[in-house]
Amino acid sequence: MSIEVGSKLQGKVTGITNFGAFVELEEGKTGLVHISEVADNYVKDINEHLTVGDEVTVKVINVEKDGKIGLSIRKAKDRPQARQKSQKSQKERTENFESKMNRFLKDSEDRLASLKKHTESKRGGRGARRG
């Protein structure tokens, strides 16, 4: 199988840096899995996820003209159900956001009215004098 964008390949971790991991692919070629492409969640220390010698499945995300190969471990995982969930939860998030926004606006208007009422009474409002 040739190394082209979109293909999934097996590889072996040959080196780890603070910005990613080098993975040896077929034909002795090496690609880089950037730290942001290791896992779905935030990765602070790549050593908690990978060690030299690990066999990993990677997806080729780009091949530069100079031969550099960009790889992703997280995009190599098959998750058709996760995509369906995210579409459904997107709608729920939008509805949830709208209800929170409406509640915020109402609370904001209530606070503003209360603030206005209190500041007018402290200034004396409508020409009333303090004795």
DSSP string for residues in 60-104: EEEE-TTS-EEEESGGGS--HHHHHHHHHHHHHHHHHHHHHHHHH
pTM: 0.57
Give pLDDT tens digits along the chain (131 positions). Answer: 568 898 899 999 999 999 999 999 988 899 999 999 998 889 899 999 999 999 999 999 999 989 899 999 999 887 655 555 555 566 677 778 888 888 889 999 998 998 888 887 666 555 555 55
Compute the distance between CA of residue 98 and CA of residue 61 in angstroms, rounded to an integer: 36
pLDDT of residue 87: 58
Compute the distance between CA of residue 33 and CA of residue 49 in angstroms, rounded to an integer: 12
